[in-house]
Chains A and B, each alone.
Chain A
C-alpha cells in the first residue's frame, strides 16, 4: 500500500502556515519525518490521522481518499498522538478493552485475547491491572504503542514518541516499533535525528510547513558527503567562526564547542573532515545549504 500526499496546504486561523504544498509518497516500512518544533510535523500527522482537515490538496492511502473517507481510514489506522491522557482509575486492560471496542471489536473473547497479546508485546502484561495514569513516561508510551496496534492497522502514525524517554526506555520503544510487520506503513515524526538513523530507511525533512528533503537516508548522507568539516574552537572565538564559515552546528564536547562547517572545499585553518551524519543533513537542509 502507498500513501500519496499531493499539494497539501493548511493555514490556521491565526495566520500560521502549517503545511505549504507538501507532496510526498510513503511506502511500506518505517518512514522518518524530521523537523524542528513547529515545523508542521504534527499538523501533517493529525491530517493523516483524520483529526483535522486540510485547506487543499489530496491524500490517498491505496484506494482510500483520506481527507473525505475518514471512517474507512480509521478502520486501518493506528495513531499515537504527541500527547495523550487516559481516564482516571482505569487499568491498562480495561482501557485497551474499551479502545478495542471503539475500534469495532465487538466479540468479547476476541478482544480479551488481542489485548493480552498486545500488552505482552509492549512488555506491560505484568502491570496490566495498574491504572495507566500511574505509569511512568516510558510505560505510558509503550501503552501508547500497544493501543496503536489494536486491530492490525495498515497505517501506523507515531508523533514524537520518544521525547522525554531515557535511553533504556527509548531502546525498548524502538524494539517494539521495529517488530511491526514490514507490510505496514509506519510514519514516525521526531526532532531527534538519532531516532531516524536507527529505525528508518526513508525520511523527509520539514521546516516551517515546507518539505525540504525526502528520500532514503543514504541519499541524504550523499548530499553532504565530503562537505562537512569539523574543528574544536574556544568559546570566545565562536562569533568569529560564525561570520567566516557556514556553520552547520555547534555542540559542546568536553566543555568546548565542536563546530561543523559546510564547505565544498577544504577550508583549511585546522578544520578536519568530519564523518557525515544525519544531524548534519538535517541542519544543512534547515539552513538552505544543499
Chain B
C-alpha cells in the first residue's frame, strides 16, 4: 500500500496546485485576521482576532470553503490512471486491489489537508502586517491551531473526500465529481435550515455532518476571556458528532471498495486505418 501512498505524496508535493491552494487560503485568512474589511464566516466581535476560538472557527469555515479544493485532489487521484490512459499498464501489474484503492485514498486525503494549513499560516502572518492594530491581538496560542485541525480540518476533509472519491472512482467523470461536491454544499445549506428548529438538542447536534452545530452550542456561553484563551474542547456532543460522521463515511468507503473493480468499463477504439488498402475491399 505504501507505494501508492508515497506516489500520491510525491505527485501532489510537486504539483503547483497544492501550493497555490495553500497560498490562496493563507491570503484569505491573513486578510481576515489583519483587517476588519475581510470577514470569514461572520464578524467575530471583540475577541482577539487571533484568539484560539477564532482560529478554530476559521478552520471550520475554511474546511467547507475548501470542499472544491478537496474535490480537485480526490478526483484527480482517483481518475489519474484513466484520465491519462495508464490503467492498462497499471492494472496488468501484480498489484492488490486493496492497496490501490485505499493507498490512493490515504495518499490524496492527507495531501488535501495541506491547503487548510493556510489558516494557521494566515493567522500567524496577519498580526505582522503594517496595517494591523496591535491591541486587537493576543499571544499566538497553539491550542487553537491544534483544535482547529483535529476538530474541523481532518474530519471534514475526510468526510468530503470519501464521498468525492467514491463518485470519482465509480463514474470516472470530472463533471460528476464537481457536481457532487456542489450538491454536498447545497444539501448542507438546506439541511442546516431544517435542523435549526429541531428541539431535541442531541439530535440537532448529531445531524450536522460538518460539526458546526455542537461547536456553536458549546461556545454560546463562553465569555470573551475564555474565547481568548481556549478553543472549543473536543468533548461531549462535539466529540460524538465528529466520531460518528468520520466513522460513517469511512464505513461507506469500505463498503464501496467491494463494488470497485479493475476490469470495469473497458473500451476499445477502432480508428486505425489499413496501411495498405485494397481498392476492392470485399471483392466477393
**Which A residues are within 8 Å of any B CB, using their own CB?**
36-38, 42-43, 46, 49-53, 71, 74-75, 77, 79, 81-89, 98-99, 101-104, 147, 160, 163-164, 191-192, 238, 242, 246-252, 257, 279, 283, 287-288
Contacts and interface: CB of A to CB of B under 8 A. Distances in A.
Interface in B76-92: 80, 84-86, 88-92
Interface string B1-28: 0010001000100100000000000000
Contact of A83 (B94, B269, B280): B269
B283 A38 contact: no
Interface residues of B, number: 32
Nearest to B278: A249
Interface in B192-217: none
A37 B270 contact: yes
Nearest to B94: A74
Q: Residue among A88, A249, A279 with the most chain B CB within 10 A?
A: A249
| Residue among B84, B93, B269 having the largest count of chain A Cβ atoms under 10 Å | B93
Contacts of A287: 282-284
Most chain A CB atoms below 10 A, which of B11, B84, B272, B278: B278
B266 interface: yes
Contact of A51 (B91, B274, B282): B91
A110 B93 CA distance: 18
Contacts of A192: 275
A123 B269 CA distance: 29
A52 B266 contact: yes
A246 B283 contact: yes
B7 A98 contact: yes
The 3 A-B residue pairs with the shortest CB-CB distance, nearest first, are: A85-B85, A102-B93, A74-B94
Given A51-B263, A52-B263, A87-B80, A250 B95 contact: no
Given A74-B93, A79-B92, A87-B86, 13 more contacts: A37-B273, A38-B270, A51-B88, A53-B263, A74-B94, A84-B88, A98-B7, A102-B93, A103-B93, A104-B93, A163-B272, A191-B274, A246-B284
B276 interface: yes
B175 interface: no
Given A86-B86, A147-B89, A46 B7 contact: no
Contact of A252 (B86, B279, B283): B279
Contacts of B273: 37
Nearest to A78: B92
A248 B91 contact: no
Nearest to A243: B283
B255 interface: no
A88 B84 contact: yes
B278 A74 contact: no
18 contacts: A46-B266, A46-B268, A49-B92, A50-B92, A51-B263, A51-B266, A74-B95, A81-B88, A82-B268, A86-B84, A87-B80, A87-B84, A99-B89, A101-B3, A102-B93, A147-B89, A164-B272, A288-B284
Contacts of A88: 84
Given A43-B268, A53-B263, A74-B94, A84 B86 contact: yes
B261 to A, nearest CB: 10
Nearest to A104: B94
